[in-house]
DNA sequence: ACAACTTTGTTTAGAACTAAAGGAACTCTA
DNA sequence: TAGAGTTCCTTTAGTTCTAAACAAAGTTGT
């Protein structure tokens, strides 16, 4: 859609902030090149940003053969973002600085099927924010396992949560008076990866998330692809085995029925590799301890995944694949099956595609959610639309540290 | 990467022209909405465009409840584009108007392995242009079966043509003094589809091309995706059969070895459905004439294709799939296997994805190539880069009809 | 037939941005 | 140690675009 143009809001001011936050300190000249604007504009905007207390001048970087650059850094405490991950039985919160570093985090039980879940959710977020540092909150990012309406207003369909047209975005917006960005959890994670993770160095990559299921995030030319109806990346339901096991989606033989967590656990239990009541953690432990049968379960899954993912890499042509999720704890066991099969199945010209594993923590999902907020100043027009503009304006208006003004 | 902004060249002037060309006449208000600029700007730029003879005012459209709109139309003869398709043994040319209509076309034998192929190519294009209508040529689009360097300068690698780092773009640019845009043929076709075909009504869709092989074009949010190294859409080499038939790519059991033209022909010959020396055309005729064995060969292929394509649709979430290529002549036979399998394999929420067949002519490939030129004013910064800017400037400078000035 | 409403198109002041030219601060070469 | 070359940053004048207010040309309701 003939991408936008000038004027209206100060997109570039925010782009500078986002760039400094995401990529670390940089000189004015660096910024001009990176954002593809004239040095003149950077000079002028940086002057304002310094006056506003959002940016400060740091040390000189060594000369590159000419006048040495004066590096600029983000005053990362100038604004914070909150990330929220919604799971069927609990909520996970984080508060992060502009550069993505986690300030604090929390977990809380939650009942996604409760009749009063919307109020409960709102109060939980209020509670988390109130316990905060006093630094103004720019917005709330919410990661959900499911799909969001295309307009990005935050109305959620989720099979896992058993939600249908659930107005998460509108409700939180009304209760909190803050910008709220709702997105599929896998896409949110891809966004975080692009801003703060390995993806920082690639414009076009795939994120593969291994958890209870498998998911795919598609990032092309620096943009997270959402598909026609916000449902891109559903690799878990790629058809694999004709007339295979019945999948939760109603079809038979989806990838998830073969290499999903439940499938691995069942296989392990049937083979008595782990006790009947044990789960994936026990299986991972067994493999770590050298149990050959446990290792084989993972490497078999790796081989299957390899062929499917090779197909996607063939079609999508990414520079890199990044592996994420709770399941990465067992990745080294997956890899023994995955790696040889993956390489052997790729076109010769793609065979060098790196597969990198990102370190995973309990807070990673919520961190991904927070990245939704921090990413908004980045898109010129922006998926984020109205909410993105609100985040931008809050960022620009942020007062000198000290005074707070959340809500409103 | 923080999409660009204002200034520099008159991007929007060209966007107006492209929009009018691609979507037909529209009012000023329509244009403002479509291009996401202010009505004020449209008023001003249209004034200039009318003065330049590139746009004219047409009839009034009926009122929508307020002041009726005065529609604007492109003076489509204001500039032409040339499209060139390169095949191993021949070249196909078309000259099109700004709205994509074909003015004239030509074919010419060609030897892609000749030592003097570059000069030959240049002279062939010169010959075609010189035989033209006298309307200024905005640029040359070249569609090749292979990959182009990421910078878009037009250096080609092609297995089919047996080319390695072949400087098609630089050579033609030097010989002709015109903007030259080189792109993979499948991607060029996707671009044409987006500008002038069924894809006009969808922002996010797949094009499936069936010819000697199968190819995929990915269009998301109106942009043709090229992948990290310009090789996106290689569905022909998705791994399908473990330890299957050896493929030209060096791997075994690629999709192409199962449903590629050569494979169908072999199967038909082995079963004596067609004579030993006959090809796909004979097989199609047999199926058309009611030969059940021929029909089954196609429907079997359709079933296989359905499962692979369902996987891609799962991952990519397009609004629509468009089928193109010489092979569409037999699509109704493919479809009897494809349709039921495709629907049954998709997620319930995707099951309604339309699969539409575009009408196909001998000139379609070259028309796709020409669309490369006509699309350049559309991208804000643009894949097209330098060449796109040149096309834009030629479009703006186009004189009142009459005077010509190609080269230089 | 008149006001109220809607949509289209135009004008004007001002914001966002660029290009071009030049000053500032350093390195390299002779 | 002087000049030539680089890279970084700033200033100035001018372009592209927006926002806001308004004029134009219709439809609809009473």
Same domain, B216 and B303: yes
Of B32, B54, B74, which residue constitutes the final position of a domain?
B74
State how far the Cα of B74 lies from the Cα of B91, in Å rounded to an integer: 30
Identify the closest residue of chain A to B306 by CA–CA distance.
A239
DSSP assignment, residue A303?
H
Q: What count of other Cβ atoms lies within 10 Å of the Cβ of residue A51?
A: 9
Q: Is A404 inside a domain boundary?
A: no
Q: Is A34 inside a domain boundary?
A: yes
Same domain, B314 and B377: no
Section B245-257 average pLDDT: 91
Find the range with the poorest average confidence among A109-123, A229-243, A338-352. Answer: A229-243
Rg of chain B over all Cα atoms, to the nearest angstrom:
22
Phi, psi (rounded to 5 degrees) for A184 = -55, 140
Q: Is B263 inside a domain boundary?
A: yes
Q: What is the pLDDT of residue A159?
A: 86
Q: Is A6 inside a domain boundary?
A: no
Q: In what order do the strands lie in the sheet with B155-158?
A: B147-148, B155-158, B163-167
Residues A201-245: pLDDT tens digits?
Answer: 788 999 999 999 999 999 987 788 988 888 889 999 998 988 889
Cα A247 to Cα A186, A238, A254, A257, distances in angstroms: 20, 11, 6, 6
Q: Is B244 inside a domain boundary?
A: yes
Of B48, B74, B100, which residue constitutes the final position of a domain?
B74
Residue B404 pLDDT greater than 70, yes or no: no
Same domain, B244 and B231: yes
Q: How many CA atoms lie within 13 A of A83 on its CB side?
A: 34
In sequence order, the β-bridge partners of residue A167 are none
Q: What is the CATH number of the domain that holds A51?
A: 1.10.10.10
Find the range with the poorest average confidence among A137-141, A340-344, B78-82, B404-408. Answer: B404-408
Section B158-183 average pLDDT: 91
Band of residue B128 on the pLDDT scale cut at 50, 70, 90: very high
Q: What is the pLDDT of residue A302?
A: 97
Same domain, B212 and B323: yes
Same domain, B106 and B148: yes
Residues A89-114: pLDDT tens digits?
Answer: 999 999 998 778 899 999 999 999 99
Instruction: Provide the percentage of residues in chain A whose pLDDT is more than 90.
Output: 54
Given a contact cutoff of 8 angstroms between Cβ atoms, the answer to whether A253 and A269 are in contact is no
Same domain, B233 and B327: yes
Band of residue B285 on the pLDDT scale cut at 50, 70, 90: very high
- CB of A202 less than 8 A from some CB of B: yes
3-state class (DSSP) for residue B150? coil
Nearest to B212 by CA among B365, B25, B53, B382: B365
Q: Write out residues 335-364 of B within 8 Å (CB-CB) of A.
A: 344-350
Instruction: Provide the percentage of residues in chain B whose pLDDT is more than 70.
Output: 88
- CB of B235 less than 8 A from some CB of A: yes
Q: Which residues of B touch A307 (CB under 8 A)?
A: 239, 242
Band of residue B272 on the pLDDT scale cut at 50, 70, 90: very high
Q: Which nucleotide is nearest to B65 (CA to C1')?
A: D27
Phi, psi (rounded to 5 degrees) for B111 = -120, 105
Find the range with the poorest average confidence among B117-126, B133-142, B210-219, B295-304. Answer: B133-142
Instruction: Provide the percentage of residues in chain B whose pLDDT is more than 90.
Output: 53
Pick from A228, A249, A251: which is nearest to B319 by CB? A228
Q: What is the pLDDT of residue A217?
A: 96
Q: What is the pLDDT of residue B398?
A: 44
Give how far A215 is from chain B: nearest CA, Å: 9
Q: What is the CATH number of the domain that holds A253?
A: 3.30.420.40
Contacts of A290 (CB under 8 A, 6+ apart): none
Q: Write out residues 306-325 of B within 8 Å (CB-CB) of A.
A: 307-308, 310-312, 314-320
Tally of structural domains, chain B: 3
Band of residue A61 on the pLDDT scale cut at 50, 70, 90: confident
> What stretch of H or E contains A308?
helix A292-316
3-state class (DSSP) for residue B92? strand
Q: What count of other Cβ atoms lies within 10 Å of the Cβ of residue A89?
A: 9
Distance of CA A246 to the CA centre of its chain: 30
Section A17-21 average pLDDT: 77
Q: Report the residue count for chain B.
A: 408
Same domain, A330 and A211: yes
Q: Which stretches within B180-316 are classed as H helix?
A: 185-196, 255-259, 261-270, 280-288, 292-316
Q: Is B229 inside a domain boundary?
A: yes
Q: Is A341 inside a domain boundary?
A: yes
Section B168-186 average pLDDT: 91
Same domain, A225 and A253: yes
Q: Which of residues 42-101 of A touch strand C (CB under 7 A)?
A: 44-45, 60, 63, 65-68
Residue B260 pLDDT greater than 90, yes or no: yes
3-state class (DSSP) for residue A149? coil
Same domain, A67 and A82: no
Integer distance in angstroms from CA A34 to C1' D20?
34
Mean pLDDT is highest, among A90-104, A384-398, B217-231, for A90-104
Identify the residue with better confidence: B32 or B335: B335
Section B72-90 average pLDDT: 89
Q: What is the pLDDT of residue B406?
A: 25
Q: Is A3 inside a domain boundary?
A: no
Residue A378 pLDDT greater than 60, yes or no: no
Section A188-195 average pLDDT: 90
Identify the residue with better confidence: A76 or A392: A76
Residue B5 pLDDT greater than 50, yes or no: no
Q: What is the pLDDT of residue A387?
A: 63
Q: Is the CB atom of residue A43 positioned under 7 angstroms from any atom of strand D? A: yes
Q: Is the CB atom of residue B44 positioned under 7 angstroms from any atom of strand C? A: yes
Residues A239-262: pLDDT tens digits?
Answer: 898 888 999 888 899 999 999 999
- CB of B233 less than 8 A from some CB of A: yes
Given a contact cutoff of 8 angstroms between Cβ atoms, the answer to whether B110 and B87 are in contact is yes
The residue segments making up the domain with residue B392 are: 78-190+363-397
Residue A9 pLDDT greater than 60, yes or no: no
Mean pLDDT across chain A:
86
Band of residue A135 on the pLDDT scale cut at 50, 70, 90: confident
Mean pLDDT across chain B:
85
Same domain, B207 and B350: yes
Q: What is the pLDDT of residue A137?
A: 87
Same domain, B261 and B301: yes
Section B148-163 average pLDDT: 85
Residues B307-340: pLDDT tens digits?
Answer: 999 999 999 999 999 999 999 999 999 999 999 9
Section A344-371 average pLDDT: 93
Same domain, B267 and B389: no
Q: What is the count of residue pairs from A and B with beta carbons less than 8 Å apart?
A: 176
Of B74, B99, B114, which residue constitutes the final position of a domain?
B74
Q: What is the pLDDT of residue B307?
A: 95
Residue A406 pLDDT greater than 80, yes or no: no
Q: Which nucleotide is nearest to B47 (CA to C1')?
A: C10
The burial class, CB within 10 Å (0-12 / 13-18 / 19+), for A282 is: middle
Section B164-191 average pLDDT: 92
Given a contact cutoff of 8 angstroms between Cβ atoms, the answer to whether B399 and B125 are in contact is no
Q: What is the pLDDT of residue B135?
A: 82
The burial class, CB within 10 Å (0-12 / 13-18 / 19+), for A201 is: exposed
Section A287-300 average pLDDT: 97
Given a contact cutoff of 8 angstroms between Cβ atoms, the answer to whether A14 and A54 are in contact is no
């Amino acid at each position: 859609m003939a991408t936008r143009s000038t004027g209206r809001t100060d997109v570039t001011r925010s782009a500078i902030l986002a760039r400094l936050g995401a990529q670390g300190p940089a000189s004015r000249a660096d910024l001009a090149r990176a954002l593809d604007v004239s040095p003149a504009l950077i000079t002028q905007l940086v002057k304002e940003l310094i006056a506003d207390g959002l940016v400060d001048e740091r040390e000189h970087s060594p000369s590159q053969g000419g006048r040495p650059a004066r590096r600029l850094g983000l005053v990362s405490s100038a604004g914070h973002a909150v990330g929220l991950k919604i799971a069927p039985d609990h909520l996970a919160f984080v508060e992060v600085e502009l550069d993505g570093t986690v300030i604090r985090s929390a977990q809380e039980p939650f009942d996604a099927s409760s009749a009063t879940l919307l109020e409960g959710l709102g109060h939980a977020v209020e509670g988390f924010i109130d316990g905060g540092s006093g630094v103004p909150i720019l917005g709330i990012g919410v990661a959900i396992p499911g799909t969001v309406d295309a307009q990005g207003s935050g109305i959620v369909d989720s099979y896992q949560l058993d939600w249908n047209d659930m107005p998460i975005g509108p409700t939180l917006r009304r209760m909190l008076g803050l910008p709220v960005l709702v997105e599929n959890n896998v896409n949110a994670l891809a966004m975080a990866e692009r801003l703060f993770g390995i993806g920082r160095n690639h414009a076009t990559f795939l994120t593969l998330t291994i958890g209870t299921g498998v998911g795919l995030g598609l990032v092309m030319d620096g943009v997270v692809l959402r598909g026609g109806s916000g449902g891109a990346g559903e690799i878990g339901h790629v058809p694999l085995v004709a007339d295979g096991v019945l999948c939760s989606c109603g079809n038979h033989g989806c990838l998830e029925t073969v290499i999903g967590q439940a499938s691995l656990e069942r296989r392990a239990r049937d083979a008595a590799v782990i006790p009947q009541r044990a789960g994936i953690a026990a299986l991972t432990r067994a493999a770590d301890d050298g149990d050959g049968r446990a290792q084989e379960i993972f490497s078999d899954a790796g081989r299957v995944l390899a062929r499917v993912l090779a197909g996607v890499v063939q079609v999508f042509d990414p520079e890199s694949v990044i592996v994420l999720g709770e399941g990465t704890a067992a990745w080294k066991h997956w890899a023994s099956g995955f790696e040889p099969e993956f390489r052997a199945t790729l076109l010769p010209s793609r065979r060098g595609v790196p597969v990198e594993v990102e370190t995973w923590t309990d807070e990673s999902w919520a961190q991904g959610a927070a990245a939704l907020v921090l990413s908004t100043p980045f898109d010129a027009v922006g998926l984020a639309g109205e909410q993105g503009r609100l985040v931008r304006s809050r960022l620009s208006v942020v007062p000198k540290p000290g005074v707070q003004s959340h809500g409103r």
